[in-house]
Amino acid sequence: MRAPASNPSGVHFLRDRTVIAGLLRSARPRGGDLVLELGAGPGVLTAALAGTGARIVAVERDAAFAARLRRRFAQRPVTVVEDDLRRVRLPRRLFAVVANLPFATGTAVLRRLLGGRDVPLRGADLLVEWGFARRLTRPVPRDAETAWWAARYELRIARRVPATAFAPAPRVAAAHLVVRPRQLDRRALPVLRALLTDAYRRPAAPLTAVLAAHVPAARAHRLARSTGIAPPAIAGAVPPSVWAALAAAAVVAEPAARARSIS
């Protein structure tokens, strides 16, 4: 199928079967699973997903592509939704995402998938622009929003994907980005958000000073030691996973401290 001549949205159609196989091995969709494919295009990845027995929701904003997808997968467990992947309604039940994202949409899509507290995301396997993936997976993100994502989800690069895997070939390489939720107590999420906001507002402040703004000072030092972070550490050097551990420890310690005070 001939790709459009213009490419204002960074759309690159996936054509490499090895890359498709890698996405499926990582995502491991099975019968009964709900899988959202964002930006289905001509349906190359859709066909592979449909063969797994999972229920596929293929989102495509181009009317011609959407019509072709409906005809092609009329007898398969594929629901075609003609909508913009940046605005389409997300499922309310547990779902996974497997998608070749247009490079220009990466931030908007991840903001929707990872930004909220109540998105029932089981995991995501995404093809995104290489530099974007590198920024997302930095040990210490540059901004509080990305740190919020990385504190609640494991973000890692499975492999570098060459430009030749797409048509038209982009100017830069892509990455297979793997997203998996961390096991966090929901009670810790407000504390985690507050800690990250404060840490990125005061990156040069000592870790214990940021903690002490949200928990009693004596407990702040104990919490810091419990993570193995040396007390002189500054807030701007602390990885998101450590902030998540601190938030979780804080909500566990609070009831215990209250019980001791009552007794």
State pLDDT tens for residues 72-114: 999 999 999 999 999 999 999 999 999 999 999 999 999 999 9
CA dihedral (107, 108, 109, 114) positive or negative = positive
> How many other β-carbons are positioned within 10 Å of the β-carbon of residue 35?
26
Distances (CA, A) of 176 to 94, 98, 127: 22, 10, 5
Q: What stretches of 17-105 show up as alpha helix (H) in DSSP?
A: 17-27, 44-50, 63-72
How large a percentage of the chain has pLDDT more than 70? 91
Side chain identity at 48, as an amino acid letter? A
What's the pLDDT tens digit per position in 7-56? 445 689 999 999 999 999 999 999 999 999 999 999 999 999 999 999 99
Give the residue among 230, 236, 228, 242 at the shortest CA–CA distance from 205: 236
pLDDT band at residue 218 using 50, 70 and 90 as cut-offs: confident
255 has pLDDT over 50: no
Contact 238, 144 (CB under 8 A): no
Separation CA 209–CA 231 (nearest Å): 10
Residue 258, classified by CB atoms within 10 Å of its CB into exposed (0-12), middle (13-18) or buried (19+), is exposed
**Closest by alpha carbon to 151, among 161, 139, 162, 160?**
139
Question: Which pLDDT belongs to residue 2?
Answer: 42
Q: What is the pLDDT of residue 253?
A: 58
CA 53/CA 31 separation, integer angstroms: 4
Question: CA dihedral defined by 102, 116, 45, 137, rounded to 10 degrees?
Answer: 70
**Kind plus residue range of the DSSP H or E element containing 124:** strand 121-129
Reported as a single tens digit per residue, the pLDDT across 144-203 is 999 999 999 999 999 999 999 999 999 999 999 999 999 999 999 999 999 999 999 999
Q: Write down the pTM of the prediction.
A: 0.90
Hunting for tokens 């592979």 — which residue is that? 48
Q: What is the pLDDT of residue 177?
A: 98
Relative to beta strand 55-59, strand 78-81 is parallel
